[in-house]
Each structure stands twice: as structure tokens, then as C-alpha cells.
Amino acid sequence: MQYRVPMRGQPARALARLAVVLAVLGVAYLAVVTGQVLVGAKPDVEQRAGAIIVLGAAQYDGVPSPALERRLRRALALWENDVAPLVVVTGGHQPGDRFDEATAGRTWLHQRDVPERHIRREVHGRNSYDQLAASQRFLREEGVEKAVLVSHRFHATRLRLIADEVGLKATVAVPRRNDRTLTEQGRLAAREVAAVGLGQVIGFRRLRNLEEAVAAAGG
């Protein structure tokens, strides 16, 4: 019986081929996810729902940032057009803040004649997953199964996926005015490509846990 002695270079060549295949697959997946984010940036057709959920954004000592105000203006227009009877404002305290994002949003809506009975607050979530998961829980208790989510357009794909994961039927509306620079929009799109790509692999709850662990290690 004859034995074939493997060439010394064979394992190295096999690893090199595997690395090339993985790189090609990675690039292909990244391209697919980029397409998802860009195509998903188109808002859904407005449909009636049980609630409008405004995803949190920065506030400055109780005053909504421009990003949050754009979302609130869109939510207000939807509410005034009877798309949904409730507006849910979300977002907790960020480190060093005196006010939470949800309270800043509620105050802004009050100043524009939205009654308290039409507003709900989610005051603990510091990321999209927690804000939607918490909102889904208390809206379900009120019999609400469908919501319109309001955030920037590149956020839309991730929001739809998270809503599906937490059991919320959702469509997405985006602010009509966009005064961000191309650089800012590119940064937002890149962030969403990374989040959607990883979230679809490990799940968005695990992604939330990973982000919190990284933040804790860095802090």
C-alpha cells in the first residue's frame, strides 16, 4: 500500500482559499445589507394604526434637539391627520441629563395642544430595541397591536426588523424635512448598515446586549 505524503504548502493554500471565500461572502453580505438599508429608507404608505411611536433622540435640558423636533413634528402631523389616536414618546436619561427624552417630547406636544390623554411615555429606553420592546408591552395592554414608527429614514429598516422581533406590527414614517449634510447622512447610513447586518445574524436583542457590554467596558 502506498501513502501519499501531503505537500507542505497545501494547508496554507487551503487556508488562503478559505479566507478569499469568506472575504467574498462578507462583501456580498455587506452589499445586500446596504441595499436593504437604502431601499428600506423609503417610508411606508400612511395607514391607520393604534399608536404613533416617536423614537428617542437627544434633548438639551428639556428642549428637543433638531433631530428630535423633526420626529415630533412628523408625529404631530400624523396625529392631526387621525392616523392614530395615541402618540408614544420614548427615551430615557442619558448620563448627566436632568430630563429624559420622552418628557422633552411630551412637553413639546403639550405646547402644540396634544392632550395628555393622547400621550404615552416610555422613559427608560436608551436604544431603539428597548424603546420598542417597552412600548409594545404597554400598548398591548391597551389593545394596540399596530403602530407607526417615526425616526430618520436610514433607521427604517432596522426599526421594522426590531418591531417584528418584539411582536409589534409596524410601518415607518420619516420627517418630511431633512437638513442634515451629506456627511451626516452618510454616517447615519453606515451605522445602520453595520447594525442591521450584525442584528440579522445574532438577533437585535443580543446586539443590544453586546452594545451595552462594549459601552460598560469602555466606561
pTM of the model: 0.88
Q: Residue 121 pLDDT more than 80?
A: yes
Highest mean pLDDT among 11-25, 150-164, 171-185: 150-164
pLDDT band at 176 (very low <50, low <70, confident <90, very high): confident
CA distances from 13 to 16, 26, 27 (A): 5, 20, 21
**Mean pLDDT across the chain, nearest whole number?**
90
CATH architecture of the region 51-179 = 3-Layer(aba) Sandwich (3.40)
CA distances from 29 to 11, 162, 178, 192, 217 (A): 27, 19, 29, 14, 29
Q: Residue 151 pLDDT more than 90?
A: yes
Q: Where are the domains of the chain?
A: 51-179
Dist CA 135 CA 117 (whole Å): 16
State the pLDDT at residue 178. 76
Mean pLDDT of 101-129: 96
State the pLDDT at residue 25. 82
Mean pLDDT of 54-82: 96
Q: In this structure, are strands 63-64 and 59-60 parallel, antiparallel, or unpaired?
A: antiparallel
Q: Is the dihedral of CA 72, 74, 76, 79 positive or negative?
A: negative
Mean pLDDT of 67-81: 97
